[in-house]
Structure 1
Amino acid sequence: MNRFDRITSILIQLQTKKVVKAQDLAEKFEVSLRTIYRDIRTLEEAGIPLYGEAGVGYSLVDGYRLPPVMFTPEEAMAFVTAEKLMQRFSDDGLQNNFSSAMDKVKAVLRGTEKDLVENLEGYIEVKEHKRDNRPPVNTLDMLLKSISEKKVVKLEYRAFGKDDNTERHIEPIGIFHENDNWYTIGYCHLRESYRQFRIDRVKNIQLTDQDQQERESLKEYRLKQQAKPDCELKKVVIRIDKGVLRFIQERRHYYGFVSEVVYDNYIDMTFLTPSMEEGIARWVLMFGDYAEVLEPDSLKERITELLDKISKKMQLSKTY
C-alpha cells in the first residue's frame, strides 16, 4: 500500500471508531509506529480536526463528518457477496436492516460500480437450508440490541428434546455462528449461571426495561471455559483413506482436529476432544468403512458397542 492510500485508510478508520490506537494502526498496515505518527501529522496539516491523548489514541473531533468515501470495484463486489451471505446466515430482521444499509451504500457508488453490483447480483448464490422451526424474525436483532443497551431479554425457549417452552430472563454477552446455527451465551436468571441457547429454539423474544449487571464479554467467557481444568481433552488418532477426505475435511474441526500426517493412500489425523464417547464416536460411524481407529482402545469399544446396537435394531425391524 502506498502512502496516500494508507493515509486515506487511516482516515476511514478514524471515522469508523470512536478511538483508534496508533499501535493498532501500525499492526493493521504493517508499518512502524513512527510511520503512523508521521501520517497522523500529515492529516492534521491537511486540516483534519484530530484529538490525540497519550496512552489512549486518536479521535475525530465530535461533529466533524467527511463526505462519502468512493468505493473501489473490488469493495463493491465484496458488498454483493456480503449481502448474499446475510440472506443465508441471518434472520429476517437482520436481513432487512442490512438491506436498508446496502441501499445507502449503493447510493454513494459511482455509475460504473452501480452497474457492476447490479450485474454481479445474478451470478452469486448461497444455497439456503430451509428449517421447519424458524426463530422469530427479529431474534438476532433483539439480542444485539440487548447487548448494546445492556438490557435483559425475556425468551420463550424450547430446549432440545423437550415438548414445552420455558420462560427465561437472560443477559446476553454475545452471539456466534457455529455448526450451521446461531447461538447466544448469556447469564440465565432461572439457572443463576451462564447458559448457551440455540437461536432457532427461541419461540419468542422481548426486550425488557431491566438493566443488566456488569458481565464479562463473550471472548473473556470462552477463554475462561477453555482454561478450566475439569474440561479434560482426550487424544484420538484415526487413519482415514484419502478417498473420503474431501467429504469430512470441513467437519473435522468440530471434533477437535489438531494435526495430520499424510501418507500415500491414507492420512493419520489427531484430535483432542472432550466428547469421545458420543461426539467423535458417532462421527466416525459416518465413514467407518474407510477409517481405522489407532487410539484409544476405549473409542474402538464404543464404536463397536454402537454398531451392535444398530445391528440389533436392524435385525429386529426385519421381523415386523
Structure 2
Amino acid sequence: MNKTERQLAITLELQHSKMLRAEDLAARFETSVRTIYRDIQALSEAGVPIVGAPGQGYSLMEGYFLPPVGFTAEEAVALLMGADFIEQRLDADYDRVAKTAKVKIEAILPEPIRKESVRIRDTMRLLHAGEQVTARKEKDYLEKTRRAILDRRKLSFTYLKKIPEPDGNRESRRNVSPYGLALVQGNWTLIARCELRQDIRHFRLSRMADLAVLEESYSMPPGFNLRDYRPQNERNLEVLLKASPEIADKIAETGRFYMEMTKELDDGLMVTFRVWQSEELLPYILGWGADVEVIEPESLRNRVREEAEKIFKRY
C-alpha cells in the first residue's frame, strides 16, 4: 500500500469509527506511529477536517463525509462475487437485495473498469452443491431462523441427529432460543440454547423438520457475542488410523474437521483424529475401504468389522 492509498484508507477508517489512536492506525496499516502522524498532518493540510484529542486519538469533524469513491476492477469483482455468494447461500430476501446491489454496482462502474471486472469474473465460478429441493428448504429455514433471531422469538423443530442416542432414537423435538447462524463447511448451522439440554447447542438447518417460530420471546445472555463465541471442544476420543499414501489427499479433504495430526511412515501414513464418538468417522473409514486400517480404539475396529460383514452378506 503506497502513501496515497494509506491516507485514503485512514480517512475511511476515521469515517467508520468515532475515535482512533495513532497506535491503532499504525497496527492496522502495519507501519510506524511516526508515519501515521505524518499522514494525519498531510490529510489536514489537504483539507480533511481531522480533530485530535490528547490522550484519546483522532476523529473526523462531525458531518464530514468523503465524496463517492471509485472501485478498481479487483474491488468490483470482490463485491460482485460476494453478491453472487449471497444469492446462492442466503434466503430469498437477501437474494433480491444481492441482485439489486449488483445492478447498482455495475451501473456506477466506468466502462473500462466494468469490462475488466467482467473479464476477471469470467475466469472464476461459485458452484452451489446439493440437491435443489434441499437448497430451497434450507433457504426457507434460514429466513425463518434469521427473522426469529432479530425478533428474539423462540423456535421449535424436530431434529435428526447424525449419531443415534443410546436407545437408538435419532429424532427429538427441540425448543430453542436462537443466538446466531454460522456457515460451517458449507452447512448453515444454528447456534441456540436448547431447553432439552439446558445448554448451547449447534443444529444444522438441513437436519431440521417442521420448523416453527413460537410466540414466546427470550433475552440474549449478557455479554454473548457471536463473533467471539467459541464452542467447547468435547472431542475427547482419540482415533488412530494407518492409511495408504495413495489416499492421503482423500483423508485430508474429507476428514479435515476431525484430523489432529499426521505422521509419514515408510509404508504409509499414520493419522490421529479426535472425535466425540467413534461413529462420526465410521462413514469415512468405510468409504476409504481397504486403504485404511483402524489401529485404535479396539471398539472402532470391531465396529468396522461388523459393518464389513453386513456389506459382505448383502452382496
Q: What is the TM-score normalised by the length of structure 2?
A: 0.77
157-166 or 232-241, which deviates more: 157-166
The 5 A counterparts of 1:22-37 are 22-37=22-37
Instruction: Please state how far the C-alpha of 1:279 moved relative to its aligned partner.
Output: 0.8
Matching residue of 1:251? 254
Once residues 57 and 99 of structure 1 are traced to their aligned partners in structure 2, the CA distance between those partners, rounded to angstroms, is: 40
Deviations 1:225-278 (A, max 9, x none): 13xxxx3523333222232233332222222x1232335663322222222x21
Unmatched 5+ residue regions in structure 2? 162-168
SS in 2 for 1:70: coil
Once residues 59 and 145 of structure 1 are traced to their aligned partners in structure 2, the CA distance between those partners, rounded to angstroms, is: 35
The 5 A counterparts of 1:77-226 are 77-128=77-128, 129-133=130-134, 134-135=136-137, 137=139, 140=142, 143=145, 151-160=151-160, 168=175, 170-172=177-179, 174-188=180-194, 192-200=198-206, 201=208, 210=217, 212-215=219-222, 216-223=224-231, 225-226=232-233
Instruction: Please state how far the C-alpha of 1:75 moved relative to its aligned partner.
Output: 1.6
Q: Pick closer, same or farther for the CA change 1:266–1:192 going to 2, 3 Å.
A: closer
Deviations 1:282-301 (A, max 9, x none): 32111031112334434323
Number of equivalent positions: 304
Matching residue of 2:300? 299
Once residues 118 and 253 of structure 1 are traced to their aligned partners in structure 2, the CA distance between those partners, rounded to angstroms, is: 34
SS in 2 for 1:260: strand
The 5 A counterparts of 1:36-47 are 36-47=36-47
Contact map agreement 1:158 1:164 (CA 8 A) in 2: yes
Matching residue of 1:318? none
Instruction: Please state how far the C-alpha of 1:185 moved relative to its aligned partner.
Output: 0.7
Could you tell me which amino acid in structure 2 is paired with residue 170 of structure 1?
S
Once residues 20 and 144 of structure 1 are traced to their aligned partners in structure 2, the CA distance between those partners, rounded to angstroms, is: 33
Instruction: Please state how far the C-alpha of 1:6 moved relative to its aligned partner.
Output: 1.4
Matching residue of 2:165? none
Q: Pick closer, same or farther for the CA change 1:122–1:221 going to 2, 3 Å.
A: closer
180-189 or 158-167, which deviates more: 158-167
Instruction: Please state how far the C-alpha of 1:130 moved relative to its aligned partner.
Output: 2.3
Q: Pick closer, same or farther for the CA change 1:305–1:7 going to 2, 3 Å.
A: same
Matching residue of 2:281? 280
The 5 A counterparts of 1:51-90 are 58-90=58-90
